[in-house]
Structures are given as structure tokens and as C-alpha cells.
Chains A and B, each alone.
Chain A
């Protein structure tokens, strides 16, 4: 069982916005500003999309944005495109002063 909870699937039509949630506890998402999000297409290695809750690496479209509130982090994808269809994983530091890393179970995004 994954430490962080994500919905198994979300869907949206091209041009719409979708939000994927990532719920943890006060010992991980709620305690650290180190939430990150990864996109994984089938058979490929994951790709970093968001780090430190809301920062985008160079080359990631600004359609991707991150935020958090309490123990829940969110990834919002606006202006959905067909190529956004993929699995998305969240991650966070966890543990008091142990700096372990935990992942969510992943969310399958389907672009209708």
C-alpha cells in the first residue's frame, strides 16, 4: 500500500482542466515543501513535471501547475492535450528528520 493516496484514474476532454490529488499526512506532504510530480508514458521512464510543490523544470509547459493545502498536494493540467495521457505519480519527503521518500500509487489520466 502506497504511503500517499492518489485517485486511480481521472479523465478529461481536450482543452479542459483536470486536477490530480495526492493526500498524505502531517509527517510528509503536510510537513515538507518537497512534493514532486512525475509523468510516465507506457514503457518509458518517469519524467519530472513539478518539484518543491509548484516549481516547473525547464521545458515543462506552464499548463502544468502544482499546489498544496494541508496534507493534500495537487497537480493541475490545463488545456488538456492528447499527449498528456499518461500515469502521474506524486512524491514527498516523509518522516520527522529522516528524510525518507514516499510515492503515491499513481493516477491514470485519460484524455477523452
Chain B
């Protein structure tokens, strides 16, 4: 059974870059899409973007200028970078398997943007 685990700083200063990594176990990275989604406290889900195992990516148009998702197949993990963060980026960030629907989720990690 595939398991995903997010890791990274829980506190990021405004204007800096949020960086998270998702470690995948129990499954190969090949032949799947891998995604990031976030959920601001008390609010709904927002799609950030996905990466295919081939390396092709697709990002939420509203975040596209600030987002990079990358894949490290040797480490069996994928990463999220979100630049120039503001308080609006405070959310629980989830990594997931899938591109159109998501069958495996990480537990989520709260990232707070604050000075």
C-alpha cells in the first residue's frame, strides 16, 4: 500500500520560498501523476499542481508564476516550491498520488507564513 509523507518547515517568513518534500513508499513513482493540494484553515481544498513521472507538469493558473514541482526518482520523492509567500499561503499542504483523482494522500503538514 502506497504511503506518502510530507516534510519541511512549518513556519516560513513572508516573501520567502516555501519548500516541501513528499517521500513515497510502497509504490513506484513510475506511471503515475503526483500532486500537491492545500487547504487553508477552515476552508476548502485548492489544487496547486501535478507532475507526471516523465517530468511534465501542470500548475494552477493562479499560482503558476510562483510554483515549481519536481521529481527525484532516485530518492522516490517529489517536491514543492512556492516563492514569494504571503499570509494567504498559510495552509495545510497535502501531497497525493494522482492527477485527475487522488487515491493516496499524505497526512498533511501545516505551513504558517508569518514573520
Instruction: Write the nearest CB–CB distance from B93 to chain A, whole angstroms.
Output: 11
Q: Closest B-chain residue to A1, C-beta based?
A: B44
Does B44 lie within 8 Å of A57, measured CB to CB? no
Enumerate chain B residues within 8 angstroms of A100, measured Cβ to Cβ.
47, 58, 60-61
Selected from B44, B47, B94, B103, the residue in CB contact (under 8 A) with A101 is B47
Q: Does B106 contact A (CB under 8 A)?
A: yes
Q: Closest A-chain residue to B92, C-beta based?
A: A45
Enumerate chain A residues within 8 angstroms of B107, measured Cβ to Cβ.
45
Q: Known: A46-B105, A52-B101, A91-B101. Is A103-B58 also a contact (CB below 8 A)? A: no
Does A46 lie within 8 Å of B103, measured CB to CB? no
Does A51 lie within 8 Å of B103, measured CB to CB? yes
Instruction: Write the nearest CB–CB distance from A11 to chain B, whole angstroms.
Output: 19
**DSSP majority for the A interface?**
strand
The complex places the Cα of A105 from the Cα of B40 at a distance, in Å, of 12
The complex places the Cα of A93 from the Cα of B47 at a distance, in Å, of 11
Q: Known: A34-B100, A52-B101, A105-B44. Is A45-B106 also a contact (CB below 8 A)? A: yes
Q: Known: A45-B94, A98-B58, A99-B58. Is A104-B44 also a contact (CB below 8 A)? A: yes
Instruction: Write the nearest CB–CB distance from A4 to chain B, whole angstroms.
Output: 10
The complex places the Cα of A89 from the Cα of B94 at a distance, in Å, of 15
Q: Closest A-chain residue to B58, C-beta based?
A: A99
The complex places the Cα of A103 from the Cα of B100 at a distance, in Å, of 11
The complex places the Cα of A21 from the Cα of B87 at a distance, in Å, of 32
Enumerate chain B residues within 8 angstroms of A51, measured Cβ to Cβ.
100-101, 103
Which residues of A line the B interface, CB within 8 A?
2, 32, 34, 36, 38, 45-48, 51-52, 57, 89, 91, 93, 98-106
Which residues of B line the A interface, CB within 8 A?
35, 44-47, 50, 58, 60-61, 94, 99-103, 105-108
